[in-house]
Amino acid sequence: MKRILTYGTFDLLHWGHINLLKRARAQGDYLVVGASTDEFNTAKGARRPSYHQFEVRKTMLEAVRYVDLVIPEESWEQKIEDIRRFHIDTVVMGDNWKGSERFEHLRSFCDVVFLPRTPGFSTSQIRRDLLVD
């Protein structure tokens, strides 16, 4: 069984997120998603709190057919432990993270795959669009 791991905030879940989760799951047989906690979002330098709090974002992710398990992402440092704990073969992220030391160093522990982002979809754009209605 090939086990995949990805991370993100996944706020206002949209097609860009689903398309990432779908392609990540297709890389193996089991997908673990590390959903950023509200506190970690602040630590990540988010300009504003997510629209949905962690528990709502976690529940929405658990309803996605491609997702097998959702865990809290509470720090940058937890990834190696997550890889070990869940016997991960591949970490998959959107390619806006390509080259980031946050992920490139994980290559010592598992494969790391960056997938093209889905153009035209972003949580911040959704928020801006809703402001004009």
> Quick check: 57 binds ligand C2G (CB under 6 A)?
no
CA distances from 103 to 24, 83, 93, 111, 118 (A): 15, 12, 9, 10, 20
> Quick check: 117 binds ligand C2G (CB under 6 A)?
yes
> Quick check: 93 binds ligand C2G (CB under 6 A)?
yes
N-terminal to C-terminal alpha carbon distance within the chain: 47
Select the span of 4-12, 61-69, 81-89, 104-112 touching ligand C2G (CB under 6 A). Answer: 4-12
> Quick check: 10 binds ligand C2G (CB under 6 A)?
yes
Alpha-carbon span 86 to 93, nearest angstrom: 17
| Residue number, 10 or 54, with CB nearest to ligand C2G | 10
β-pairing, 69-73 vs 30-36, is parallel
Q: Which residues bind ligand C2G (CB under 6 A)?
A: 7-10, 16-17, 20, 36, 73, 93-94, 96, 117-118, 121-122
